[in-house]
Amino acid sequence: MPTVAGIPRKPGSSMRIFSVSNLREHWKSDPETPFEFKDQRDFDLHIALEVEQDHLKKMFEIGKNSEMECRGISDHGFIDSIYFRDPNGYVIELTAKRPDHDRQMLASGDPRILLEKWNESKNPVEASA
């Protein structure tokens, strides 16, 4: 199976990885375009990619043994995730479904209700206002 950044890519899918650092030369030629790299919080800016559970564990071991920032494995109940910070400061999340993921996702019946309940659990004061 072909890979992108070491992650297996399913046939027929399209994924491109661009490095902003490779574009710095372009921005130098366009001084009218302001751009500043800054640290980002995970919730502000990140990309999540789905992988299989065994690949998640393998990538976590690779991350722990590298010099790059690697956090996890985070238990989200229906998925497990690990987080890497790329050289530009952006967060890459690799996530793997738990065996009962689909059952949990269908349990509420309506994804909007699931999201509403999740938001209420994270912001109980705002939800009751």
> DSSP secondary structure string, 73-94?
EEE-SSEEEEEEE-TTS-EEEE
Q: How far is residue 11's CA from residue 42's CA, in Å, rounded to a whole number?
A: 29
- 18 and 55 share one domain: yes
Residue indicated by tokens 């590298």: 66
User: Residue 55's pLDDT is what?
Assistant: 94
Amino acid symbol at 97: K
User: Residue 4's pLDDT is what?
Assistant: 46
- 82 and 66 share one domain: yes
The parent domain of residue 120 ranges over: 100-129
- 78 and 120 share one domain: no
φ, ψ of residue 79 to 5 degrees: the values are -140, 160
- 27 and 41 share one domain: yes
Q: What is the pTM of this model?
A: 0.58
Res 125 pLDDT > 80: no
Residue 127 banded pLDDT, cuts 50, 70, 90 = very low
What's the pLDDT tens digit per position in 18-57? 444 545 555 556 667 676 666 666 666 788 999 999 999 9
User: Residue 23's pLDDT is what?
Assistant: 52
Residue indicated by tokens 């994924």: 15
Total number of domains in the chain: 2
- 83 and 109 share one domain: no
What's the pLDDT tens digit per position in 65-120? 988 888 999 998 889 999 988 777 778 999 999 998 888 877 767 778 778 888 88
